[in-house]
Structure 1
Amino acid sequence: MNINPLIKSDFNVNSLVKQVSLATRTRVRNVSLNKFRWNKNYVLGFVDCHLIHYPTPIGLTYAWSFGSLAGMCLVIQIITGVLLSMHYSAHVDLAFLSVEYIMRDVPNGWFIRYTHANGASMFFIVLYCHLFRGLYYGSYMKPRQLLWCSGVVLFLLVMGTAFTGYVLPWGQMSFWGATVITNMVTAIPFGGQTIVEWLWGGFTVNAPTLRRFYSLHFLLPFIIAGVSLIHLVLLHRDGSNSPIGSDTGVDDVPFYPYYFSKDLFAFTCFLLFFGVFVFFFPNLLNHPDNCIPADPMETPKHLVPEWYFLPFYAILRSIPHKALGIVAMLGSILVLFLLPFTYTGYIRNTTYRPVFKIFYWVFIADFLTLLWVGQAPITDPYILLGQYASFYYFSFFIFLFPIIGIVETKLASYQVK
């Protein structure tokens, strides 16, 4: 049997299946909207279409709850952040004292502050799980390329928000973290020093810097909320990705009550996990040096970012050249935009991709290795281990990802033959 006609016919079948899927989901949504059109209540029709009778693949597991959990984390961070801003003072002489005032004198201020501080870590735990789930189940594949790219944009915005927020307590790690990170901008060949001085509001990290970071930190969550709405629009346009890789839509069920109850249970378990850190280990995920007021004259012995930045920090310091290290750190995130355009196969679920599955779990181990190396001392063997881990990180996305897709397509063709 000739391989090419076989593959061509498979793609024709897939195209027909996608047309049927789109028609099915469109019909279900139109029926939901028409139920409320008789009394001109478009709001209820919209809610019914996108929350109640929204067609959802029947095989979704709890791994699909991380998206809604990320939305809940965003709401928690915005509410607690607004409450903290009522008592915070964005001045270098008062910032640290205002945080202490919130902790000691504001009624339930300790709870609000610990919820906000640990909420950032919870947000990143959920985001990383959501990202790795999408990578495992092929959420980057057609027709969800824009959905995946919008998720990467959200990830970048959340990282920017977390960094600007980490500066606000004005402790030792806050001050020196802002100094180190902003100094990276000087690696830009033309205008780098000018941009840094604009970020600082002068020639050093000082009061204008803190005010700029406070303004950005207050603004970015609302930008994230707007981009999240775009992310949801793209999700509801293309539909949720089925675990088995099917987009037929014939086995879809309404979101309510099936997945509403599942997401509610997942959120309850998440709150219990969250509460353990807030009430029993509130400072476990924070650096102890940040409980010391900022001192420009004393550098911390071991300068490290928050744990959720450690994999990218390990990539940065694994390259001796400053400019190349910064490019590699930024590239480690931007490379995620390439996934929808570099994958050459047509199988979504990694469960049915035996070759890719091996490299996928090696990649997970590699990412955890980078996280561990990022907080280790800058000595051997950690430097060498970080370089090896960084090499595999980029090789996975740039070389292995498209090559494995070609190999698996060939293997599937030979098996059919």
Structure 2
Amino acid sequence: MHTAETRMYILTDTQANNNKFWEVSIDAGGSVSSRNGRVGSAGQSRVLGAGQNLFQAKIREKERKGYRQVEIVAGAGASGLDGAALATAAEDEIARGNPVLAALVRELAGINRHQILAASGGQMSLDLTTGIISTPVGVVTAANVAKARTLIGRFERFVEAQDFDHPGFLETLEEYLMLVPQKVGSRRGWHRDFITGMESLVQQSALLDQLDASIGVATQRIRDAANSPDAAPKGIFDVRMSVSEDPGLRAHVQAFFERGRNRSHASHRLGMARIFEVSLGSMDRDYEDDGAKVGGVMELWHGTRAHNLMSILKSGLIIPKSNGSIHVTGRMFGDGLYFSDQSTKSLNYAYGYWDGGAKDSRCYMFLADVAMGRPWHPDRTGSNVKPPAGHDSVYARGGQDRVMNNEMIVYRTSQARLKYLVEFQQ
């Protein structure tokens, strides 16, 4: 009896105008079949024959032609659950019948989907009820995302020079797309349109962050399905939200925002709209176990683009990995969670000021308790900067520590607890 197995291979060759996939399978009876086509298409399927020897021979044949295997999280595709039930799971679990929250969830879900489609040529799919983002050939593994992340920084010098025909750019692009497959143009020269500027790199960076966050969810989904294959999804969003109607809280948040408003920041004209009280179960528990003991708690702002909010509400804040020297990521002090007491400094990130593209007329910031413990005032910047032994955080003082505005950074997610999601608009 044969062991069923499926492998996915990708060949991206800019000069030959190739961006192809080839999937080969052998079933338990030994029958070998394949499916192939351009990435983003359904492809064509056919039966090749039978036997493990044929299966391996076809693989060697493709590898000699330059095809590279792309690791896929097996079993993380669509479930057999009712689509309508899946489509409403996020809204049900977060809004819990509140029409205002339901409308917010629908809006954020739409923004999230739009961003993923824009960054991936319309070929990444998102299951909003699970947070799983799938490439055109499946959910790629953490190892693929990690390797792809190391390539992002290599693009920058070619982007700055607008030299998209340089062999170094082409080689990096081909390697990148064989790690994180995406749809590209069908005509020759598509490589000049895939990454065109810094905004494209930021989009790809954000996409990798979301792919990274989805992999653990996909793995858990597989385990849950194995244990209870017919069970409806539940407990996907471990979050409680409510619309605040407390005038005292509003006065406090408004005053704190005004104290940190800087009229030199592009976002300073935005005004505060609604306040949502937020409690993220896992993040709150981690904070009680760690951050509350670290001490030195400061109330600080954290700005993020609206398309990240669904992921944060599902999984809490994550510490994304740095991407080479791309300055727009703002990570001057290594990989950590960045906050500020200067409101419009953080609001600039939510507004999209650093991303080089369209700005958001409605955007959001979190107000958080951040356990700074014993902070370190940095004397240098860089992707590898971290507080020395005996310190729990970085507190870069505006005008003193190589920054123009205050920045507070912690390096464990358990040092932060999100309390309020504050909406801003023109």
TM-score (norm 2): 0.25
Higher helix share: 1
Higher relative contact order (CA 8 A, sep 6+): 1
